[in-house]
């Protein structure tokens, strides 16, 4: 562009943009001018003129020399001035009816000369807008941008999927731990119950043992008490039987208390073993990568939880033959599978 064209281009762009953005709904002014002097009749022709200017692309102005920019700018300014005069129309002027009719006539007759003046430039503008080579380049650039963005989105989705999978695994692990903890609480409740009962029966047993010892010592001197001193063989037999019965009852109660103490202590330890097995087997299973070892751990944990346990407080038969056999079978599975694969 030559010197001075940049300013003219800006002026033409401002004029064209202003007429393209003009709102024809402001022209009628029905509330201000009334039903007789409003400009409702200019809405349709004014819209045709504005639509004509809208067909002229702002981008095409960059290609026009000064001798073309000048008529475009002048026509846009003249039509905008005409619309502005309608917006400024005053009822206090002389003969407003004639002035209104003149404005309506000017707007109605403005389309044809505007079309004749602008249609060559509109044709060029449409051709420039339909520059297929430029459109192809822009489309390729847009497509590449979309592909780059889609790759980035795919990468982000993959990362989000990985994070979601990690979160899901963590949720499952926490849920499993929560389930194990919830089930282990039953064994813990039984452990606390039997521990309390064992302590109570232990207290009874100690008290009965002390009482039995005191009675044994006192029984040595019962026959010397005046009103209990036997005077003949029959009294001596009666005293001996009474002492034996009292001693037998106290001894039986001591035996019963000791037995209940041992039973509750046995049950408390067994439930504690089961709780510990249930709480720790998950960590052992996760740490063992081999399937055979994992099955062996699960079998041993199940055996500790559900099988009778020997604690030393209660006599129970110990028969681990079946368990040992099962473990041998489980541990031998990987070896058997490896042998089969080698034979194939």
Residue 308, pLDDT > 70, answer no
Residue 331, pLDDT > 50, answer no
The tokens for 249 are 């009852």
* Burial of 157 per CB tally in 10 Å (0-12, 13-18, 19+): exposed
As a whole-number percent, the residues of the chain with pLDDT over 70 amount to 72
- Residue 322 pLDDT level (bands cut at 50, 70, 90): very low
> Tens digits of per-residue pLDDT, 83-137?
898 888 888 888 888 988 898 899 899 889 988 888 888 888 777 665 555 666 7
**If you average pLDDT over each of 63-72, 220-229, 235-244, 278-287, which comes out highest?**
63-72
Q: Which residues contact 61 (CB under 8 A, 6 or more apart)?
A: 9, 12, 13, 16, 69, 72
Residue 282, pLDDT > 50, answer yes
The CA-atom distances, in angstroms, between 324 and each of 5, 66, 259 are 101, 103, 32
- Residue 178 pLDDT level (bands cut at 50, 70, 90): low
> Tens digits of per-residue pLDDT, 183-199?
777 778 888 888 898 89
* 29 backbone φψ class: left, alpha, beta (φ>0; ψ -120 to 50): left
- Residue 44 pLDDT level (bands cut at 50, 70, 90): very high
pLDDT reported for residue 45: 92
pLDDT reported for residue 206: 92
Q: Name the nearest CA neighbour of 49 among 134, 110, 128.
A: 110
pLDDT reported for residue 333: 53
> Tens digits of per-residue pLDDT, 46-61?
999 999 888 888 888 8
Calculate the average pLDDT of the chain. 78
CA pair distance 272, 281, nearest whole angstrom: 14
Residue with tokens 């009474």: 242
The tokens for 139 are 């489309």
pLDDT reported for residue 77: 92
Mean pLDDT, residues 217-246 taken together? 77
């Amino acid at each position: 562009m030559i010197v001075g064209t940049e300013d003219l281009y800006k002026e033409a762009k401002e004029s064209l943009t202003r007429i393209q953005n003009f709102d024809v709904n402001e022209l009628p002014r029905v509330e201000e001018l009334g039903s007789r002097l409003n400009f409702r009749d200019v809405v349709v022709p004014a819209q045709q003129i504005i639509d004509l200017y809208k067909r002229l692309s702002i981008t095409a102005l960059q290609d026009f020399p000064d001798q073309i920019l000048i008529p475009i700018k002048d026509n846009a300014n003249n039509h905008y001035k005409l619309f502005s005069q309608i917006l400024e129309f005053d009822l206090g002027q002389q003969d407003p009816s004639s002035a209104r009719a003149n404005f309506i006539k000017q707007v109605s007759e403005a389309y044809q000369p505007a079309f004749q003046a602008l249609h060559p430039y509109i044709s060029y503008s449409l051709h420039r807008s339909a520059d297929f080579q430029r459109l192809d380049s822009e489309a390729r650039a847009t497509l590449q941008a979309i592909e780059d963005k889609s790759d980035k989105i795919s990468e982000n989705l993959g990362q989000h999927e990985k994070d979601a999978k990690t979160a899901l695994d963590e949720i499952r692990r926490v849920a499993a731990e929560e389930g194990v903890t919830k089930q282990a609480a039953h064994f813990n409740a039984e452990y606390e119950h039997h521990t309390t009962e064992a302590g109570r029966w232990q207290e009874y047993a100690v008290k009965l043992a002390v009482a039995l010892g005191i009675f044994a010592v006192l029984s040595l001197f019962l026959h010397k008490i005046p009103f209990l001193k036997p005077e003949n063989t029959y009294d001596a037999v009666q005293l001996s039987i009474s002492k034996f019965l009292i001693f037998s009852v106290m001894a039986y109660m001591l035996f019963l208390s000791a037995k209940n103490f041992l039973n509750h202590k046995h049950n408390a330890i067994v439930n504690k073993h089961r709780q510990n097995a249930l709480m720790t087997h998950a960590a052992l299973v996760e740490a063992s990568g081999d399937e055979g070892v994992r099955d062996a751990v699960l079998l041993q944990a199940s055996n500790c939880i559900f099988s009778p346990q020997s604690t030393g407080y209660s006599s129970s038969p110990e028969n681990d033959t079946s368990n040992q056999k099962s473990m041998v079978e489980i541990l031998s599975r990987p070896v058997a599978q490896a042998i089969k694969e080698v034979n194939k």
